[in-house]
Amino acid sequence: MPELMGMRGSEHGVLEFDAVPVAESDLIGEEGQGLEVALRGFLDQSRAAIAQTCVGLAQRALELAIEFASQRVTFGKPIAERQAIQMKLAEMTTAIAAGRHLALDAARRFDAGATITLEAAMAKLHGIEMVGKVTDDALRIFGGRGLTTAYPIERIYRDARTLWFEEGTAEIQKTVIARELLGRSAAATD
């Protein structure tokens, strides 16, 4: 598999199965229910974990941006004293807090034994959109310097984009959320 743009610290690969016989005694769940088993067995939890990863990456990007903005001086004062930078930092902090709460809500529900399909999809959707925006803003605070490997924001920026495709894109998460909402709504009226 070609090298990824980001997340170079973890291995990725492709497995292909073609006409592999599976004995009935080796099935997990009922025949034809593989997607349901995958969703409930690992996909929901993995989406919640990705949301947590998004929060961690975004938090680190924020910390780096604050540090850089406090040290970078233009026209006689640190850029952290400029209102435009302060607004970005405030927005970044708020978005990260929302992502953290969504991820923790999914984790708490899972720990309590609840199904978290809706909560995990919401956490991942917000997480991937949030980490993209936060790392964009952090890179803007760094300016051109942030594009160089001399600053860790460059790697965080790349790594954040990889999360958009793990366990389903934003569009997939929206589809899952809508399906869960409409399914719950239909079940409530039955």
Q: Where are the domains of the chain?
A: 40-189
Architecture of the 40-189 domain: Up-down Bundle (1.20)
For residue 27 the two structure tokens come to 């099935």
User: pLDDT truncated to tens, each residue of the chain (190 aa)?
Assistant: 656 655 555 566 677 888 888 888 888 878 777 777 766 678 999 999 999 999 999 999 999 999 999 999 999 999 999 999 999 999 999 999 999 999 999 999 999 999 999 999 999 999 999 999 999 999 999 999 998 888 999 999 999 998 988 888 999 999 999 999 998 766 655 5
Helix, coil or strand: residue 99: helix
What are φ and ψ of residue 11, in 5° steps?
-85, 140
The DSSP bridge partners found for residue 77 are 74
- Integer CA distances (angstroms), 93 to 7, 63, 174, 187, in order: 23, 10, 24, 37
**Residue pair 78/70 in contact by the 8 Å Cβ criterion:** yes
Active site residue 81: no
CA pair distance 137, 65, nearest whole angstrom? 9
Residue among 44, 35, 181, 182 nearest 115 (CA): 44
Q: Pick the catalytic residue: 31, 167, 171, 180?
A: 167
**Residue pair 80/63 in contact by the 8 Å Cβ criterion:** no
**Residue pair 67/89 in contact by the 8 Å Cβ criterion:** no
